[in-house]
Structure 1
Amino acid sequence: MSTAPESPMKVLVYSDDANVRAQVRLAIGRRPAADLPAVEYVEVATQPAVVARLDEGDIDVAVVDAEAQPAGGLGVCRQAKDEVYDCPPVLAIIARRDDGWLATWSRADAVVALPLDPMAVARSVADLMRRRAASRLPVL
């Protein structure tokens, strides 16, 4: 019997490349860890769509592709962290490990490098989902 909450958590996946979005979905799967609820994906391909969805306030975790065009995921992450109230945690996907400094500048909460390691992606998203769930617990 599962102890995971019943309501799915929404994971936004931003990339202009449908193949990258599909790789992210496959890496995370339907439920990245047994103690977490199912994942509901929200796929977006443009920076304005990211901003609009985050402004709605129902996204639990965002995954951004640093190589997206014309607006890279790291710039989109930085904008979201600066402008979105209660911004969800963000996982940044970088093409080169040396871009880690840029991911730090963007204030990404976690970083993975291409090629995607499905275990690392699922683990990172699971950690961010737990962080988001904990941030929404009522204070006693």
Structure 2
Amino acid sequence: MSNPVVVVYSHRQDVRERIMNAIGRRPAPDVGRIDFLECASVADVLMAIDDQVADLVILDGEAQPTGGIGISRQIHQEAKIIPPIILTVRRAADRWLATWARADEILVHPLDPVTAAETVASLLRRLPARTTPAAAGSV
């Protein structure tokens, strides 16, 4: 069985690192280990979604030139299969924008590691069971 893939988008490497460090490689014992796919561009995020690589997407609402709020809205309007989306914002007052963008969850910087890990684990628990292609084809 393969690990869930969590896409982390920000144009800034340090922001992606802070997000990944807050979540950790094993956000909860029952979820198991996760793999991160770092994306610095919108094209990379959209490709991961189109290729159905992303089990969960975390978008930096402050990213430049395209913020995660706009990307979330675009994903919801264009993608055939929409993975759960978490938006990170700098101000709690921006929660309404994340809601408008149809994010499943919202995290506010600075990220609390316990809250971040619990949020990711909660969304991953809702996903259907994953199987590897070999396991799916076996009898």
Q: TM-score, normalised by structure 1?
A: 0.89
Give the match for residue 56 of structure 2: 61
- Deviation of residue 37 (structure 1)? 2.5
Give the match for residue 37 of structure 1: 32
- Deviation of residue 133 (structure 1)? 3.1
For 1:67 and 1:50, locate their aligned partners in 2 and report how far apart those are by CA, in whole Å: 15
Give the match for residue 101 of structure 2: 106
Alignment of 1:1-140 (within 5 A): 6-133=1-128
For 2:63 and 2:49, locate their aligned partners in 1 and report how far apart those are by CA, in whole Å: 17
Q: How many residues align?
A: 131
* Contact 1:62 1:91 (8 Å CA) reproduced: yes
Question: Runs ≥4 in structure 1, deviation > 6 angstroms?
Answer: none
* Contact 1:7 1:38 (8 Å CA) reproduced: no
* Contact 2:49 2:81 (8 Å CA) reproduced: no
What do you get for the CA RMSD once the two structures are aligned? 1.4
Report the residue type matching 2:67 in the other structure.
G
- Unaligned ranges ≥5, structure 1: 1-5
Report the residue type matching 2:71 in the other structure.
V
Counterpart of 1:132 in 2: which secondary structure?
coil
For 1:70 and 1:131, locate their aligned partners in 2 and report how far apart those are by CA, in whole Å: 32
For 2:13 and 2:28, locate their aligned partners in 1 and report how far apart those are by CA, in whole Å: 25
For 1:118 and 1:80, locate their aligned partners in 2 and report how far apart those are by CA, in whole Å: 26
Give the match for residue 3 of structure 1: none
Q: TM-score, normalised by structure 2?
A: 0.89
For 2:23 and 2:6, locate their aligned partners in 1 and report how far apart those are by CA, in whole Å: 10
Cα displacement string for residues 60-84 of structure 1 (whole angstroms, at most 9, x for unaligned residues): 0000000000000010011111111
For 1:130 and 1:64, locate their aligned partners in 2 and report how far apart those are by CA, in whole Å: 19
